[in-house]
Amino acid sequence: MTQLFSILLFLFSSLTAYLISVSSYSEFIPQIIAVIAIIFIFISLFKKHFSLHLIAFIICLTVFYTQGFNSPFFFLIYFLLFTVAFQNPPSITLGLSLILILLLSQSLDSLTSLIPLLSLLLITPLSWFIGKQYLEKNRAEDNISIDETNVLMWLSLKFKTGICQIIDNCSELLSTPLQPTQKDQIKYIKDSAKSLLNSSEKLKDEVDKQSDEET
């Protein structure tokens, strides 16, 4: 799903919730929330898919229905923004924040309502920053995983093949007539190659074990 499409879905869900709350269908909002909640549970359990857009619709509908900035459920907007920030690029979080600010600003009716508006304006850059840091952390972990895979492939293929070739060549040389000093040098090379091979196997096992623990 592209970032623009995700922002449009959040716009659709938020705007739909707002329009329902100011329409003649507002008296059926509790029933609508119940139906959407059942759909959300069904999707989460059977489709193994967690829809943030449905959650956004339910939260927005609840807040808009209970007087927007004056709603006792307004704190759910904060949870929504941080949840979106931890699972999406910062641009989506920023887009959703701006959408909510524009729609909720329609419920401004007193100076008291300015307090949650100001808090939302302050929360927006904070959630954007947290989302950005979270994505950078995930990106760094992915890069480490890729590097780890490359190291394991190098140890398993190129390094092991090269060391085994050195050991085989040394064995062949030792089977030929050589001077004592030459044999000693070749034995030293062979033993060193075997030691490197054993060290690489231990390193590979340690990396595999660490990867299994992290997953």
pLDDT for 16 equals 92
8 A C-beta contact, residue 128 and residue 94: yes
Q: How confident is the model at residue 150, as a pLDDT?
A: 66
From first to last of its 215 residues, the chain has per-residue pLDDT tens of: 577 888 889 999 999 999 999 888 888 888 998 888 888 888 777 776 677 888 899 999 999 998 888 888 888 998 888 888 888 888 888 888 889 888 888 877 777 777 888 888 888 777 777 777 777 777 766 666 666 666 666 666 666 777 777 878 878 777 777 777 877 787 888 788 788 777 777 766 776 666 665 55
Query: Looking at residue 154, what is its pLDDT?
Result: 64
* Rounded Cα distance, 28 and 40, in Å: 18
Which residue is associated with the tokens 């050991």?
Answer: 167
Query: What's the pLDDT score for residue 62?
Result: 92
Distance of CA 107 to the CA centre of its chain: 34
The CA-atom distances, in angstroms, between 119 and each of 22, 72, 79, 126, 184 are 24, 15, 13, 11, 78
pTM beyond 0.85: no
DSSP letters for 107-124: G--SGGGHHHHHHHHHHH
Place of tokens 């190659």: 193
- Structure tokens that stand for 9 in this block: 């879905």
- What is the pLDDT, as a whole number, of residue 214? 56
Contact status, residue 89 vs residue 6, Cβ threshold 8 Å: no
